[in-house]
A and B are shown apart, each in its own frame.
Chain A
């Protein structure tokens, strides 16, 4: 096993204890199942992206789909990210339901004209005459030298764009349920998966279920602080909370799952009980999810706070490629534990 693969597996979230009879499958298997189910039940759904029919099958999400559903419904594309986004928009406006897969969110930066100027605005500009039910999916590529242009979690850049929905699943259960919800949604939905979560396995129901877009969920209930966040960084915060460094501290841990629309109620409800807020996110702190959630609580929950809001995201710098620099760049169990302790001290 290459060191990168071994490293990735070591970083995967441990499987949660499962009840008897529950089916445990991998994160990628859960996503693949969601795509297959969507293709099966809805002839309007099609899946496309660079490499969806190659041997790797987009992390395994699309393996076997073309053979099962045909090349007209599952197909590889030219390396034309902006046009493919517009083409999906045009097809979606006619009632089709495209699911456009990218290896990395970094490539979404090539699509901002079609995503921001068109897909997000069509329904608004033509006063509801067209809908744009499309899904854009990409996997945050952090790790083993991916560096400044292959590691970015760019959802913060899209947070202020009206008309888009932004989803960051954190578990195999949610990955499947949110993919099915995104495909059923009548708006453009951007899903950012985190590659470090994609080796995890956990209980995933069979068949179709949809996790509501715009609803956060408590991963843990506690009283000393509220840890609010998404994706892999929230998993790190849970580990930090379980470490010896945080002994005696109990926290509400809220997985937002969707950052746009944002579940404001669950955040304010939790802070009302704990009086302390730590926001964590795999994107940059500046102007992103950390900033927005912090601002929400400062604006609408200031009187609830017993301590200053703390945010743990990425520093105002691009991601370095090298292993040693990466260790210093990203938050980890130790830095998150320090943030938790600092807030409760």
Chain B
């Protein structure tokens, strides 16, 4: 059994023109951050079968350009809220890798002390304010954060990530409506990867009604962005941040990319038949990380030594984070009843 190719890549790939106006150091930083997320995800995937990370995982491989492009356009003081697919956005915003790995290994020193797991990563100091395993669950909370920012005049903008299925939840539209009504400084990042678990967009939303156009109808400023191109994402989010910070209200970005792996767990599950293996193969040709690396190489900005340097630095950091997590203690049972109520 094989599904048809439903969703083809509609972008134009990386092109030299994308680089104009950016300093080489910045471009290399974006590349390194995407490569880092990719390698972290690959390592998690490679060791998942050991069954020591007793936490459901939702890998972001294929969607790294969204995380890095968006978070690089935000200030450290700006906040983001995440869905269940947390790793990439958490890391790109500056979330602590060791605390994340400890959380995946259910350790006492995990970012959520092992009560959250991989779907509840946060790092308040880095502006990763929260995440929710309920689809679109963190959307109103992000809007509330933006309301508080407006009430107090902090100048903060708040971003919230959710998938294409997020806009199938009533609470999403309720939240967008309120955000537009009050012109709140909030950025809606819709990561459209075309599938919710194994259900394609075609069985969930009417064809021909693009997600970003629905948001336009609610009065938000909207953009459709190639989510495999880190510079397109960065540029779009940068202008959206400027607009939101200037008081021009909520900005909605539909960012299209492909989830290379299954909804949850390790490995590509395309062979199970819910999506076409050809479709997945086609998207892999537009790898957000390798494509950007190729462009940087072609422009003479990335040489083999530099690349090797990045790889070894990233590998050492990942080794250290895994070792840290594996060697950390389990939480005490008393933790179960701590923090149920605040004093």
| Interface membership of B88, Cβ < 8 A | no
Q: Which chain A residue lies CB-closest to B154? A: A94
Contact A129 B178 (CB under 8 A): no
Q: Is B151 interfacial (CB-CB < 8 Å)?
A: yes
**B138: A residues at CB distance < 8 A:** 118
Given contacts A80-B174, A124-B340, A187-B341, contact A93 B144 (CB under 8 A): yes
On chain B, the residues within 8 Å of A46 by CB distance are: 151
Q: B342 and A131: CB pair below 8 A?
A: yes
> B112 in the interface, Cβ–Cβ < 8 Å?
yes
Interface residues of B in 117-152 (CB under 8 A from A): 120, 122, 124, 129-130, 132, 134, 137-149, 151-152
Set A86, A123, A132: member contacting B140, Cβ < 8 A:
A86
Say whether B116 faces chain A, with CB atoms less than 8 Å apart: yes
- Give residues of chain A (65-113) contacting chain B, Cβ–Cβ below 8 Å: 72, 77-78, 80, 82-96, 113
Give Cα distance in the complex from A86 to B139, angstroms.
8
B132 touches which one: A82, A96, A117, A187 (CB < 8 A)?
Answer: A117
Say whether B144 contacts A90, CB under 8 Å.
yes
| Residues on the B chain within 8 Å of A93, using CB | 129-130, 141, 144-145, 148
- Establish whether residues A83 and B174, one from each chain, have CB atoms under 8 Å apart when the complex forms: yes
Question: Do B116 and A90 touch (CB < 8 A)?
Answer: no
Is B13 part of the binding interface, using a Cβ–Cβ cutoff of 8 Å? no
Q: What 0/1 pattern do residues 189 to 232 of B give for CB contact below 8 A with A?
A: 00000000000000000000000000000000000000000000
A131 to B339, CA, bound (A): 10
A90 touches which one: B115, B140, B152 (CB < 8 A)? B140
B277 close to A (CB within 8 Å): no
Q: Which of B113, B130, B134 contacts A130 (CB 8 A)?
A: B130
Interface size on B, residues (CB 8 A): 39
Q: How far is the CA of A130 from the CA of B171 in the complex (A)?
A: 22
Interface residue ranges of B307-343 to A (CB < 8 Å): 338-343
A265: Cβ under 8 A from any B Cβ: no
Q: Which residues of B (10-30) have their CB < 8 Å from a CB of A? A: none
CA distance A113 to B132 in the complex (A): 11
Interface size on A, residues (CB 8 A): 41
A130 to B262, CA, bound (A): 32
Q: Is A315 positioned at the interface, with any CB of B under 8 Å from its CB?
A: no
Residues in A with CB closer than 8 Å to B115 are 124-125, 127
A94 to B145, CA, bound (A): 6
Q: 0/1 per residue, A119-162, Cβ < 8 Å to B?
A: 00011111111111100000000000000000000000000001
Residues in chain B near residue A83, CB distance under 8 A: 139-140, 143, 171, 174-175, 177-178
B339 near A113 (CB under 8 angstroms)?
Answer: no
Quote the shortest CB–CB distance from B120 to chain A (angstroms): 5
A82-B140, A89-B144 are known; give 11 further A-B pairs, CB within 8 A: A78-B174, A83-B140, A83-B177, A88-B144, A90-B143, A91-B151, A93-B129, A114-B171, A124-B115, A133-B342, A162-B340
| Chain B residues close to A by CB (< 8 Å) | 112-113, 115-116, 120, 122, 124, 129-130, 132, 134, 137-149, 151-152, 170-171, 174-175, 177-178, 181, 338-343
Which residue numbers of A lie inside 8 Å of B, CB to CB? Answer: 46, 72, 77-78, 80, 82-96, 113-114, 117-118, 122-133, 162-163, 165, 186-187
